[in-house]
Amino acid sequence: MAAPRHRPPAAGRRSLLPAIAVVAVALVGAVALLLTRGDDPAPTSRTASTAPAPRPAGSRAPARRPATVAARRARERASWPRHGAAARRTRVPILMYHLIAAAPAGTPYPELWVPAARFREQVDALAAAGFTAVTLSEAWEAWHGEGRLPRRPVVLSFDDGSLSQVMAAGPALLRHGWPGVLNLTLDHLNAQGMPRWGARRLLRQGWEIDSHTLTHPDLTTLGADALREELAGSRRRLRERLGVETRFLCYPAGRNDAAVRAAARAAGYVAATTVQPGIAGRDDDPFLLPRIRVEPGTTAATLVRMARGEASAPPAGAAGTAAAG
C-alpha cells in the first residue's frame, strides 16, 4: 500500500494568498502606469526644442517636422552668411525634376526621367561645388524678410508626386542633410503615385510640400469656378491630408496667363514656379519664377554650370511644355 501523499495544512496554503494578491496588484498598477504614459495627450504648449509625442500608425493627425530636424535646420540657417541686403540680392537656381529612375522602354516623355545613379552624382557635384539646398520658403523669407541664405543656395523641386522621389531622391538628399520641394498633385497622393506614408516621410526629412493643383489640368482652359477649386481646393486638401500650409504653386506644364495668376493670388499663394528657364530672384515677377529643367542626359558638371549661370538651361520647347510639370 502506497504511503499517503503529504499535503500542507490548509492554513499554510491560505497564508500565501495575501502575498500573491499584493504582487498581482503591483503588476497591474505598473502596466496601467505604462499605458497611461503612452496615451498622454500632447501638451497644449511646447518649447521649440521639445519633440512631439509619437502618434499611432495610420493616424490622420497633421504631419509635422520632428523637432530634431527643425532645430538642426534652424542652427544651420543661423550660420548662413547671406542676410539683409545680400540675401535679398541673391539669385537662387530652382531645379526641376520629375521621376528619379531610369525610363522604361517606350514610356512617354522619357525626358522627365533622371536615373537614380545620375541624380546622386548631380547632388554630390552640387555639394562639392559649394551649393546648399534650401526650400522655396527659405529663399522667399530671405528675399522678402529677415531670412538668411547660404553662400550658394539651390532649390531642388520635384513635380507631380511619385514613389521614386521618396525611395531615390529622399536618401540622396538626406546624405547631405538637404531638403527637397515636392510640388504635389493631389490626385497623385495614393498608392499608385505618392503614398501618404511617403509624403509624411519626406516631411520628416525636412522637405517642403507645395501645390501642383488637384488634377494637373491646363489651368488656362478652366472656367472661374473650376480654376478656383484647383487652386484653393489644393491648398485646403494639403492642409487636411498632410497638415501643411503651402504658399507656393507650381503651374501644371507651366501653363498660366493673367487670369490664372490673378486666381492664384486670390487663392492665397504668394508665388508660383514655371517651366521657363532661368535663375530666380527677388526682382522676378513672383508668379513667374523660372526653373532649370534637369534631363536624363544632364551631366553633373553641366548641372553645376547651369546652377552657377555659366551654361544655359534647356528650353521648355513645345513638347517639353506639354510634358513638363
> For the segment 289-309, what is each residue's pLDDT rounded down to a tens digit?
999 999 999 999 999 999 999
Residue 28 confidence (pLDDT) above 70: no
pLDDT at 48: 31
pLDDT at 71: 87
Residue 161 confidence (pLDDT) above 80: yes
Predicted confidence band of residue 325 (pLDDT cuts 50, 70, 90): confident
Q: Phi then psi for 7, rounded to 5 degrees?
A: -120, 140
Predicted confidence band of residue 69 (pLDDT cuts 50, 70, 90): confident
Q: Phi then psi for 157, rounded to 5 degrees?
A: -105, 145
pLDDT digits (tens, 9 = 90+) for 189-236: 999 999 999 999 999 999 999 999 999 999 999 999 999 999 999 999
Helix (H/G/I), strand (E/B), else coil: 251: coil
What would be the CATH architecture of the domain defined by 67-208+279-323? Alpha-Beta Barrel (3.20)
Which range is least confidently modeled, 7-16, 128-137, 207-216, 313-322? Answer: 7-16
The mean pLDDT value of the chain amounts to 84
Which range is least confidently modeled, 50-59, 74-83, 293-302? Answer: 50-59
The C-alpha cell at 145 is 524678410
Predicted confidence band of residue 46 (pLDDT cuts 50, 70, 90): very low
Predicted confidence band of residue 317 (pLDDT cuts 50, 70, 90): low
pLDDT at 65: 52
Domain boundaries of the chain, sorted by first residue: 67-208+279-323
Residue 47 confidence (pLDDT) above 80: no
Whether 198 contacts 163, CB under 8 Å:
yes
The C-alpha cell at 229 is 477649386
Arithmetic mean of pLDDT, 40-58: 33
pLDDT at 16: 43
| Distance from C-alpha of 145 to C-alpha of 64, rounded to nearest angstrom | 23
pTM over 0.85: no
Q: Amino acid identity, residue 100?
A: I
Helix (H/G/I), strand (E/B), else coil: 142: helix
pLDDT digits (tens, 9 = 90+) for 87-105: 999 999 999 999 999 999 9
pLDDT digits (tens, 9 = 90+) for 234-284: 999 999 999 999 999 999 999 999 999 999 999 999 999 999 999 999 999
In a 13 Å sphere around the CA of 39, the CA atoms on its Cβ side amount to: 6
Whether 153 contacts 136, CB under 8 Å:
no
pLDDT at 158: 98
pLDDT at 323: 53
